[in-house]
Structure 1
Amino acid sequence: MRLIATPLKDDIGMEIHADIDTLLSPEVGAQLRKLLIDRGVLVFRTLNPGDEQQLALAGNIGTLRQEQGRSIYKITLDKNQNANADYLKGSWLWHLDGTHDRIPPFATMLSGKVLSETGGQTEFANSYAAYETLSDEMKRRIENLKVVHSVETSMRRAGIAATDHNLSSWRSNPNTTHRLVWEHTSGRKSLVIGCHADHIVGMDRKESDALLKELLDWATQPRFVYRHEWTVGDLLIWDNTGVLHRAEPYPLDSGRVMHRCTLLGEESFSH
């Protein structure tokens, strides 16, 4: 079976049609990588991969990254399975993964194993396209700005209790400062924004808050967003360097379980 790729929206997303054996061939991995970079999100409906197949597919696109000592990380809010489940509520706000690192993950792959009866949809916003369509005036205004990113800020904004334990955990990740406009090695540019963006360096707080909100609202308008309604067995991969994402809230006791693997970053924010 050959690979068939169908655009989901003008500015973001591609649905991939192929069987698992086709997808696991190395030459198709290179094709998928190009589509991922070009389109931001790839969707494989009801592919139903096993963990080893998911890891093999990811490994054909980039280099697998260990997460807490595991290649597959189970995303769940069930505290019996994940003692740190509270922090996952931060995923309900728009964000990029890895802004507390110098080099963020390149991409994330997620498969749906158990779904919630309500909520749990995942949205993706193309930060590349959002930047490219800004006015020339706005591009000039933000060209050299830097933003402080804070894990604590993102957790507080998510409404997670600032207990002594949580504060200690959040503050173990020092604040980082990145350019608001990320110029990639490819020459493309994207916006580094999200719930973790605390303030713009050297700018009045009120002005900073207003500008960051304006940019986030711009980047997450419907034209740049793909919203995925999950079916058990769906597999998604997105380019974390230029795509914001968030999950829609769902009941903490819903039993929802997703299997995630990530790919090592390949370029730093400071490029």
Structure 2
Amino acid sequence: MATVAAKWEVSEAAPKIGSVIRTDKETLLSGEKAAEIREIMEARGVIVFPQINLSDDEQIAFTHTLGTFAHEDGEGSKDGKDAVYPITMDESINPIASYLKGAFFWHIDGTMSEKPILASIMSARALAQEGGETDFCNTYAAYDDLPEDEKLAIADLKVVHAMWRSQLYWRPEPSFAELQNWMARGSNTLPLVWKHRSGRQSLVLGATALEVEGMDTVESEKLLVRLRDWATQPQFCYRHTWSLGDMVIWDNTGTMHRALPYDHKSGRLMMRTKLEGEEAFA
């Protein structure tokens, strides 16, 4: 008896970033395509699974097919079991929703860690009537397209990252107590150019980038902003406009992302899982 071929259609989302995979739940949950998914994610940065409509338990199961399920900072577990994490501005659902306001600015998750998460997987459960899209940029492609003299100039630079810097983007005049609370998270010094074990290189930028080590404050800010502008040019970017049931996975080690503004009372709700990091910044 002939078997029915699984649905598996891969196309580009944008020239330098993003793939769209049209498939079915059974194929994803079987794990048969896990290695190919990881290859596509590393090569393209972002994968969209349109309206795949995975339940929370199915998303958890799918995450396990790709690598080690991440549990960090209170995320990823509930009552000792793996769990999805709600991304929402509704504090009745997520009590620390205000912390997520930093997500509206370009960033990489995990810049305060030695080994950042490998990837995030996010599913759309409820949408805002307007806004709420997610932007992604390919920091591998952005590095590759830099002029050679620029690559040489930044090759060995180190950047101090601090969580409090990203919070100032949305709350530029915090109380002293708020600032102290943010600063308690400390800082982390990272290479500006991440030399991955694969041999590829990417830029490490984003809202947590505080200053280039050993550089004048003004020149440091000019360099970080100029490189962010470079990396977020249209040719390196993909904007995802969500439909209910969409699931998107992105390589956190080779992309930056941000949410676009929306009405925080809209009920927009995303459910996120993560893959544990496998490689330290280097």
**Structure 2 length normalisation: TM-score?**
0.93
Counterpart check, 1:210 vs 2:215: no
Task: In structure 2, give the amino acid aligned to 1:65.
Answer: A
Tell whether the 8 Å contact from 1:128 to 1:242 is kept in structure 2 after alignment.
Answer: yes
Matched, 1:34 2:39: yes
Who is 2:80 aligned against? none
- Aligned residue identity for 2:223: L
CA distance in 1, matches of 2:48, 2:181: 34
Alignment of 1:167-182 (within 5 A): 167-182=179-194
Greater CA deviation, 7-16 or 79-88? 79-88
Distance 1:133 1:87 in 2: 34
Paired with 2:92 and 2:7, the residues of 1 have a C-alpha distance of 42
Question: Could you say which residue in structure 2 is the equivalent of 1:7?
Answer: 12
SS at match of 2:33: helix
3-state SS, counterpart of residue 279 of structure 2: coil
Give, in whole Å, the separation in 2 of the partners of 1:166 and 1:199: 21
With 157-166 and 66-75 compared, the bigger mean Cα shift is at 157-166
Aligned match of 2:114: 102
Distance 1:160 1:117, change over 3 A: farther
Residue 128 of structure 1, aligned match among 140, 143, 163: 140
Shift of 1:168: 3.8
Tell me which amino acid in the other structure corresponds to 2:158: K
Tell me, yes or no, if the aligned pair for 1:86 and 1:160 is still in contact at 8 Å: no
For 2:238 and 2:100, the matched residues in 1 are separated by 21
Paired with 1:158 and 1:240, the residues of 2 have a C-alpha distance of 22
Question: Is the 1:89–1:160 contact (alpha carbons within 8 Å) kept by the matching residues of 2?
Answer: no
Q: Distance in 1 between matches of 2:195 and 2:132?
A: 32
Q: CA deviation at 1:172?
A: 2.5
Shift, 1:160, TM fit:
5.9
Q: What SS does the corresponding residue of 2:91 show, helix, strand or coil?
A: coil
- Rounded to whole Å, the distance in 2 between the matches of 1:3 and 1:168 is 50
Q: How many residues align?
A: 270
The answer to whether the 8 A contact 1:77-1:252 is kept is: yes
Partner SS, residue 245 of structure 1:
strand
Amino acid at match of 1:250: Y
TM-score normalised by length of structure 1 = 0.97
User: How far is the alpha carbon of 1:164 from its aligned partner?
Assistant: 4.6
Residue pair 1:2, 1:18 contacting (<8 A) in 2 also: yes
Question: In structure 1, the residue corresponding to 2:32 is in which secondary structure?
Answer: helix
Per mean C-alpha deviation after superposition, the further-off stretch among 156-165 and 137-146 is 156-165
Report Cα offsets for 1:3-51 as digits up to 9, x if no partner. Answer: 2110111100000011010112222111111111111000001111001
Structure 1 unaligned blocks of 5 or more: none
User: 2:174, 2:67 → 1: CA distance?
Assistant: 36
After TM superposition, give the deviation of residue 86 of structure 1 in Å: 1.0
**Residues 1:85 and 2:127 are matched in the alignment:** no
Question: Structure 2 unaligned runs (5+)?
Answer: 1-5, 78-82
Amino acid at match of 2:105: L
Is the CA contact (8 Å cut-off) linking 1:30 and 1:60 kept in structure 2?
A: no
**Paired residue secondary structure (2:273):** strand
1: CA distance between counterparts of 2:19 and 2:94?
Answer: 32
Residue of 151, 162, 171 corresponding to 2:174: 162
